[in-house]
Amino acid sequence: QWIYLDGSFVTKEEAKVSVYDHGFLYGDGIFEGIRIYGGNIFKCKEHLDRLYDSAKSIMLNIPLSFQEMQDALVETIRRNELRDGYIRLVVSRGPGDLGLDPRRSPKASVIIIVEQLSIYPEEAYINGLKTVSVSSRRNIPDAVNPKIKSLNYLNNILVKIQSNLAGVGEAIMLNSQGYVAEGSSDNIFIVKRGVVFTPPCYIGALEGITRAAIIEICERKGYTLKEEPFTLHDVYVADEVFFTGTAAEVIAVREVDGRTIGEGKAGPITTNLLQEFRSIVTVDGVK
Ligand code: PMP
């Protein structure tokens, strides 16, 4: 396995960063998780747009141009001879001193790791996941803006701990006002009487690339899609609930906090959206 580290390709054992790196000391940096399907980098431009927007927002100077970054992704995949897998692209503030000041970290570090991926078994896409709501609240703008895909994932880790304790794979995070925000690393959708709902991102959700792809598919397939705030009550009484994310794709939920959702398995709209999603993954992106 070859890892891209600041312009060089190194082995997993050689891929080390400084203990003074502010990504390590303060979670100061940004990242992307991207999928490769059949040699195609799915939604490459969208992921890089989000990365460069996140960087601009936190005044992090990425030492590669957009095109150079895309070339680095392609080259890392080629070296690893991978046609299907997962890319983790990290840009950290880089090594500095022990203070917070980012001006003391003049050179950002760029890391690209590609790996095989298996997250949920195929059975889970048919039968759905059990999930719970948790007490950790999603950051709202000004804490760590949810639009910035930053390395500050402590909230999400707390959600993961709570979902581990509950014995489930993903959980539902609310915002500080009690509206449903998203999962620990996925966006959330519900379906009620044929209408598809997802929370608007300003409520405290990442602008997920998979979320955007699903919104686009809904428009194309003629499903009514509403970006509207909703509560746990709406989730409990929904006909269908599903999560979307780069790793999870479109995964149905069969139970939330002990309440069975719909028929207790992936519903028809969720199943249809997953099929449509899987039909575009090998074409919509960069070869
Ligand atoms: N929300 C959070 C907090 C995430 O970390 C992710 C995964 N990157 C998502 C949503 C889903 O976003 P995407 O579809 O771009 O993977």
Report residue 203 CA to chain centroid gap: 16
- ipTM value > 0.85: yes
H/E stretch holding 162 reads helix 154-165
- Most informative mutation of 134, 137, 174, 206 for ligand 1 (most atoms within 8 A of CB): 206
Residue pLDDT, tens place only, 165-175: 999 989 999 99
As a whole-number percent, the residues of the chain with pLDDT over 90 amount to 90
Average pLDDT, the chain: 95
Cβ of 269 below 6 Å from ligand 1: no
pLDDT given at position 147 = 87
- Reported as a pLDDT band with limits 50, 70 and 90, residue 136 is confident
**149 among known catalytic residues:** yes
For range 264-272, the mean pLDDT = 98
Single out the catalytic residue among 45, 107, 130, 149: 149
As a whole-number percent, the residues of the chain with pLDDT over 70 amount to 98
223: alpha, beta or left? (left if phi > 0; alpha if psi -120 to 50): beta
pLDDT given at position 143 = 60
CA of 209, closest atom in ligand 1: 15
- Residue 261 DSSP symbol: P
Name the phi and psi angles at 60, rounded to 5. -105, 125
Per-residue pLDDT at 204 exceeds 80: yes
Residue of minimum CA distance from atom 13 in ligand 1: 208
User: Domains of the chain, with CATH numbers?
Assistant: 2-115 (3.30.470.10), 122-286 (3.20.10.10)
Residue pLDDT, tens place only, 83-95: 999 999 999 999 9
pLDDT given at position 140 = 67
Cβ of 185 below 6 Å from ligand 1: yes
pLDDT given at position 155 = 87
pTM value? Answer: 0.96
pLDDT given at position 139 = 72
Which distant-in-sequence residues (6+ apart) come within 8 Å of 130 by Cβ?
Answer: 167, 168, 169, 253, 254, 255
- Residue 185 DSSP symbol: S
Cβ of 208 below 6 Å from ligand 1: yes
pLDDT given at position 53 = 96
CA of 211, closest atom in ligand 1: 14
